[in-house]
Structure 1
């Protein structure tokens, strides 16, 4: 027989084999033993947490004549047939590829027939959120009044996309992310069963890299086994996951906190030369900064997450690092991470990130020392034998004197004219425009067409209706302003809603998934403030004027008064009825 992946070989076959979902398994077992079985269930949760496995175990348990305490025997013909997927009475459907009305109507027609072999006919619909609105409506009546001996189990990773009318007719179970400790214990058990040599630290790295998914953990473990020739070492685990060692992370963070830009860039270079993934490295830095912040308030949480491997260097760094520095660093890391999703040069972003983090370290490094001296002059006076402190106080006093002089000069200056306030508006606009990532906007503008924009505008109301109430409130004052096969540009009437949308990953994913369902293509969505859109559009046309002219020149038609290529491109992008040409 061909080799099977670990997550298939070690897939749970009993409720007790499931990891990290004790509340759910106990509830389902009690329902089976007391014969309080519902006609419909909804299993929701992140990927790889056991939703489909629980559905199959449940299907076996309710049809097994030898079940004990809600657990299937896995020995009878019915259990074996369900495990092998050969029992006609247990039907597993992938809603991602069978999401139309006709498929659900077919289920509705066949559900009335009694099971042939088993006691219950079980329909397991995976990724049910992918069903269309019509398919949900077709399923609704069947869920409301199902035939006898029929059970529906709906599994999804995005329950917010399922209509409330469907959810209200099911028993909902929310599967949680599996703790790193539980993943670690399960992998250790499997490695011992396979008699494989392993490094304890390597398994911990894999458990944390899985981010709460047991299937992901076993897939990474499988890859590490193949890479290391049936041996799990720390170096192999780091190479497979793209992570870096805690020592290197600690060195890098210490260097940027100290403001040592040169050394931090050298450490970054060694990371890049080792072939580490840029996005994974950013995730590791965010995780490390978050652990430093949490350790100051709740050390026990970090020790549990790190599975007891908290070094003394980490503890010392957490004690001496101000919380304000961590806030600033995490914000900067998050901003860079958003921009790195669309770049082909992540190394450049990492170098810029390193310089910015080092700047934060220099700016905030003196804060915890200087603030107590400013707020407690008596304490400073009580300790005169501190030459370093005296020098800092003198330097601060000098800066205060300079600020006072500047204030006096401003007061003595003549009052601003009435035209001065008018200059404030462009400053605000420029401040917002700096946050707009033109690297994502210009490629869309380069291939945008009016036909594509018209297509987007037609489905836009339906797309907004597919969002949650909160997401709809954010997107209500937005509209697509340019579209191409490479992406969509959406303009917001208000800057604060634009700011909120740019940091909402779930909103972006919901829009892209919705476009995939409606037009058959998951186009990347880019946000811009509406007040900045004309400027961005004008700058693009101006910056590519030479290129447009070169493309617009016809070698065989020199005498024809050719239209302005910039105007032609603008009409192609936005339509002739919108573009208004004015002669200079």
Structure 2
């Protein structure tokens, strides 16, 4: 008999031979044991993970008369015929070449007939996502009303291309990528059965290069055996897979991190002269940087995924390289990998990549050093810390001693109480100058930008201004009222705060108004005094009764009230008759 590839010779014949899919095999075996099989299954997953093999094993098990624990016996005529592909009741179809409506209609017509040799007629449709829209519609009708004793097994690597109406009528099983360790054990078992010598490090390289596919791993192993006269060595495995040794990867990245561009370029040329694949090199570099980054956080995880291939140079290098630099290197490698997809000048891209990696700048460490070594910054931070501590102490004092509650008493009583507790000296002339030109429009403009102004302050300044708000404004000045006298006093003493507020308002409003700080509880008194001193409360009497009768029925608004409404808004002015 002619030579057969390893993946064909060692194709799983029972569920227990499927590697890395224990959940799926157990579910299918239990369904067979309890006679709870359904009419349609969907097997999805990457290539080489056992989808078609599982479908054939299931076809044998469901038709096997000597089934044991859900496994086919592989000894009866039915099992042997299915294994050899001779049973007419098990039909395997490649949807990539039979994707038309007519092919699916033919399946639908033939599915109506009972099986001739087996108990169930099984249709295995591989790469089902390649079917056309019309073919899917034709298949849907059969899945909606399945004939008796017919089972459909759909296999695909791209389930997102299958209509949801098809998926909803099947039992879906997602095959996972096989772990490198499971692939390694399977290859060791096969080589031991064949009596071939092998290097364990070579098998680890093959297991990683397979990327989770057992068929790919056995195909690579077949090539290595043919190249090395039935001997599996590390050099042969690296040559066949196009992988780069970890020593060369470590050497190259050491040179890049040290910004030794000339040596790194020489290393790249040496690697290419050894006939290494450029795309494979970039992929190996990405994985190597990923291993370095993860090893700094979870060493055991990397050791498990790398099958114990980590040497002392790798561990030492992982402790030296900056994580921020690894982030940047992975980004650059990913970008260059994307650029190399459609180029024939791979060597040029690798040279450009080397220069980019050598010129990466890690900005995290220099910034930290500069901040900690600047005396001016340290002094400023110390001052801010003192202000914050003083502010916290003031708040605690207010909480323990209590803050006088606002009572709806006349302004005269409030003024008397304030004098008893000690009050700040205010420059009323400055306040009156603002009120002379104040308007509701100016006040609303300041209030609209007040939130943006607060965002310009630092933490300490923002905490102080949280209990303050503008109460009057003109084009030349803003009166700001504080809820607590102590904070108003601190604001008056804090020239830096006043400068920041002034500059902020200048940027937001396009003008630099003069700022006046006052205690909030004194604002009603100041407002009333200003209105009484500057407002004209005299009203002109009507000259005759006729004029009175001809006057409009709307109430006459006193001039002082109109002035107050103009300054502070109608919603803020309340008129009370004594």
TM-score (norm 2): 0.64
How do residues 357-368 of structure 1 correspond to structure 2 at under 5 angstroms?
A: 357-360=357-360, 363-364=361-362, 367-368=364-365
CA contact (8 A) 2:324 2:364 kept: no
State the distance in 2 between where 1:108 and 1:41 align.
17
State the distance in 1 between where 2:321 and 2:144 align.
57
Matched, 1:67 2:63: no
Corresponding residue for residue 82 of structure 1 = 82
Corresponding residue for residue 280 of structure 2 = 280
State the distance in 1 between where 2:233 and 2:83 align.
34
State the distance in 1 between where 2:30 and 2:300 align.
34
Corresponding residue for residue 165 of structure 2 = 165
Corresponding residue for residue 252 of structure 2 = 252
State the distance in 2 between where 1:84 and 1:354 align.
53
How do residues 81-480 of structure 1 correspond to structure 2 at under 5 angstroms?
A: 81-360=81-360, 363-364=361-362, 367-368=364-365, 370-377=366-373
State the distance in 2 between where 1:374 and 1:11 align.
63
State the distance in 2 between where 1:110 and 1:367 align.
69
State the distance in 1 between where 2:221 and 2:335 align.
32
CA contact (8 A) 2:303 2:309 kept: yes
Corresponding residue for residue 546 of structure 2 = none
Deviation of residue 376 (structure 1)? 3.5
State the distance in 2 between where 1:351 and 1:126 align.
43
State the distance in 2 between where 1:358 and 1:256 align.
5
SS state at 1:222 partner: helix
Q: Deviations over 1:251-291 (max 9, x none)?
A: 11111111110111111010010010111111111110111
State the distance in 2 between where 1:374 and 1:189 align.
59
Deviation of residue 313 (structure 1)? 1.4
State the distance in 2 between where 1:7 and 1:165 align.
34
Q: Deviations over 1:189-208 (max 9, x none)?
A: 00111111111100000000
Q: Which has the larger radius of gyration?
A: 2
The alignment covers a number of residue pairs equal to 377
Deviation of residue 345 (structure 1)? 1.0
SS state at 1:297 partner: coil
How do residues 475-554 of structure 1 correspond to structure 2 at under 5 angstroms?
A: none
State the distance in 2 between where 1:376 and 1:63 align.
77
State the distance in 1 between where 2:374 and 2:308 align.
43
SS state at 2:308 partner: coil
Q: Give the ranges of 4+ consecutive aligned residues of structure 1 lying more than 6 Å apart after TM superposition.
A: none
State the distance in 2 between where 1:254 and 1:23 align.
43
Deviation of residue 296 (structure 1)? 1.7
SS state at 2:332 partner: helix
Q: Deviations over 1:54-87 (max 9, x none)?
A: 0000000110011111000001000000000100
Q: Deviations over 1:410-442 (max 9, x none)?
A: xxxxxxxxxxxxxxxxxxxxxxxxxxxxxxxxx
State the distance in 2 between where 1:371 and 1:340 align.
35
Corresponding residue for residue 555 of structure 2 = none
Q: Deviations over 1:217-237 (max 9, x none)?
A: 000000000000100000000
State the distance in 2 between where 1:371 and 1:227 align.
54
Deviation of residue 378 (structure 1)? 9.5
SS state at 2:359 partner: helix
Deviation of residue 373 (structure 1)? 2.6
The gaps in structure 1 that reach 5 residues or longer are 383-584
SS state at 1:341 partner: helix
What is the RMSD computed on CA atoms of the aligned residues? 1.6
SS state at 1:79 partner: helix
State the distance in 1 between where 2:370 and 2:69 align.
68
State the distance in 2 between where 1:340 and 1:191 align.
37
State the distance in 2 between where 1:136 and 1:149 align.
21
TM-score (norm 1): 0.63
State the distance in 1 between where 2:296 and 2:252 align.
20
The gaps in structure 2 that reach 5 residues or longer are 379-578
